[in-house]
Amino acid sequence: MTTMRAVAMTEIGGPEVLQSIDAPMPVRANAEVLVKVLAAGVNPIDAKTRSGRGVSRAIRQYPTILGYDLCGEVVESPYQAHPLQPGRRVYGMTMVPRLDGTYAEYAVVPEAFLTPAPTTLSPVEAAAVPLAALTAWGMVVDVARAHDGQRMLIHAGAGGVGHFAVQLAAYFGARVTATASQRNVGWLHELGASRVIDYTAERFEDAIDEVDVVIDLIGNVHDDTGSRSLRVLRPGGLLVNAPTGSWSTMDEEASAAGVRATGYRVAPSGSTLAVIARLIDSGDLRVHVDRTFPLAEAADAHRLLEGGHVRGKLVLTVAE
């Protein structure tokens, strides 16, 4: 085959710029793996990039294939004795736009970004995991160092990253308070949150005492959530912020408040995803897929994502 089916952004704009195209078949080189994509996750960074934010400045040409997450089957390995042999089901993430994304029938992915998929998940469920779970792991485990007795506030607890962050923080012993809408209160308790604040009914800064860590998945793009979070941190406490471009004055405000703050940017890691797969297969970590869309309807997935209130993740189905 010389071409494949893909959905690409033809220019910067609204969801309508996502168009089905015949794209060149990717060619594997060096320590890369050619993967037949079964399902691809949809993430906020995809929509931000499509609209001119995110990593759009790094796009060198159009059309550009978006998509970080995938679950698929290995087609070509780097060498004969490589552990990821043809036919092996894998999951992982890539780096757009340095590499073409996963909204396509095939993708070339560096071997270090992949690992065998969790055996207890379907391809759709596995494709929902990598970017969101790696982001949650990086913020909660690597940066915040979740541990017994730590008091942690997690904003947007019912979202893609948030529902993993709640579970990981609770798994490592933290006392988790999460913010969410009323419909997600009970669900987040099931995932391990000790307390869930319905942000539509009360202000979180009026409802809780000092915490050690804030996992900020909103920033100041809504109701100055980031700035308000500084008020609930203990002196010297830590705020970890993820959404790109969500709070330009974070460093200055944190310094003035006597607390620490840092942004976070996810990096692909097959070795960490292997640990996450073990947690999933042992029943200690769950993934929730809110809705699936056929690949050709990626624009509709972006519309739903940008409308807010998605529980967990959205996924594109690419192949059987």
- What's at 118, amino acid-wise? P
pLDDT at 210: 96
Identify whether residues 115 and 23 lie together within a single domain: yes
Distances (CA, A) of 47 to 51, 85, 289, 292: 6, 33, 18, 16
On whether both 118 and 178 belong to a single domain, the answer is no
Residue 301 has pLDDT above 90, yes or no: yes
Beta strands 106-110; 195-198: pairing state: unpaired
Res. 320: pLDDT tops 80: no
Tens of pLDDT, residues 179-227 = 999 999 999 999 999 999 999 999 999 999 899 999 999 999 989 999 9
Residue 272 is assigned to a structural domain of this protein = no
Taking residue 1's Cβ as centre, other Cβ atoms within 10 Å add up to 7
Q: Roughly how many angstroms between the first and final C-alpha of the chain, as a whole number?
A: 18
Beta pairing, strands 106-110 & 32-42? antiparallel
Q: For position 296, which CATH number holds?
A: 3.90.180.10
Shared domain check, 145 and 103? no
**In which element (H, E) is residue 67 found?**
none
Q: What is the mean pLDDT of residues 10-15?
A: 98
Interval 235-254: pLDDT, tens: 999 999 998 889 999 999 99
Question: How much is the pLDDT for 103?
Answer: 98
pLDDT in tens, 58-115: 999 999 999 999 999 999 999 999 999 999 999 999 999 999 999 999 999 999 999 9
pLDDT of 309 higher than 90? no
Query: Is there a single domain that holds both residue 102 and residue 144?
Result: no
Question: For residue 269, is it within any domain?
Answer: no
> Are 91 and 51 contacting, i.e. CB atoms less than 8 angstroms apart?
no
Question: Token digits for 23?
Answer: 């794209």
Q: What pLDDT, in 10s, does the model give residues 126-153? A: 999 999 999 999 999 999 999 999 999 9
* Cα–chain center distance at 209: 29
Both 161 and 90 in a single domain? no
Same domain, 90 and 166: no
Number of domains in the chain: 2
Q: What span, in angstroms and rounded, lies between the C-alpha atoms of 295 and 194?
A: 38
pLDDT of residue 1: 82
Query: Residue 117 has what DSSP assignment?
Result: P
DSSP secondary structure string, 1-36? --EEEEEEE-SSSSGGGEEEEEEEPP---TTEEEEE
Tell me: pLDDT of 277 over 90.
yes
Look at residue 49 in the predicted model and tell me its pLDDT.
97
For the segment 36-69, what is each residue's pLDDT rounded down to a tens digit?
999 999 999 999 999 999 999 999 999 999 999 9
Separation of alpha carbons 85 and 78, rounded Å: 9
Name the strands in the sheet holding 3-9, side by side, starting at the edge strand that comes first in the sequence.
Answer: 18-24, 3-9, 64-65
105 and 182 belong to one structural domain:
no
